[in-house]
Structure 1
Amino acid sequence: MARTPAPPPTPKRRFRGFEATSGLLRDQIRRVGEARGFAVARLLTHWDEIAGPQMAAITRPVKVGYGREGMGATLTLLTTGANAPMIEMQKEQLREKVNAVYGYAAISRILLTQTAATGFAEGQAQFSHAPKAKPAPTPAVQQEAASLAAPVKDDALRTALESLAQNFLTRRKSKEG
């Protein structure tokens, strides 16, 4: 008697409406992270919060390696050659921050890998520059924004509209000039 093939598995249905993208990708991120030695994927996904904004702008975690020498792992960070000496001086504080994420002294060493500003070809680790400070609006722009928002009675709303108008007018004038 011939066997009939099993029906294809039906995909799981989600009845909760829209879901956050992080929830849909959580398992894939965890698998990729574990393949690179990251037992806690939070180290990858929340690097800005762990390392701090200044350190995260110039470093990227590459892998966590577990050596033969025993306790503790080695965290390898990617950075540019110009930033390596500064990071070298702050390695101990960074190690403490990373170990706070793990909950115990999981990382015993931090190694630095230096690269060009565009990073390796695999992930193209982009190192972002510090955000540029916006120039202060000119008095003429401030006066025009205040006159546009003047009819609004609510103080908080009027202040928000003035700020919006200043941003719009400043952007428009910079594109024209």
Structure 2
Amino acid sequence: MTKESAPGKTTGRKTASTKKAEAPPEPPRRAMTARSLAALLPNVTAPAFKKRSPAGVQLFTDWGDIVGPAHAAVTTPRKLSAGTLSIACAGPVAMELQHLSDALIARINTWCGQALVARLRFVQDPAAGQRLTGRRKPVTPSRPYPLPEMEDSPLRDALESLGAHIAQEKGKR
């Protein structure tokens, strides 16, 4: 008495694959009480620490102190993944660093306080180690742009200074 359906045809019954998606669970209710900062920090910092560990960040920020000024001038740490630190370096420095790799690994792990780096990978990058300081060249004092029809005031001084800087910038182009 039971009918068997032909292969490839549907019977109209709902199966596990055709169930409606369940609504996401409601977020937990907020406790309206004071909580310590130590209890809140793990939830806030977890997403950031999934991307970069605090020890890895320390490695990147303290790079010059870890390897010394001579090596920091020609190298830049690029990526730390699964115990392998990728270091960008300029030209033949990679060969020198390859010979010093055991000492560098020991220095890095000692500085960070844990076995963070197991292997070094060197990537040649001519721009490695050239860090921008963000300082601008000092502006050479220029003579004020004359404004004869204005009376002496702080506004006149500011406008003369502005005019001098504009004239100086136009002269550079």
* Same topology, TM > 0.5: no
TM-score (norm: length of structure 2): 0.43
Of structures 1 and 2, the one with the larger relative CO (CA 8 A, separation 6+) is 2
TM-score (norm: length of structure 1): 0.42
Report the structure number with the largest CA radius of gyration.
2
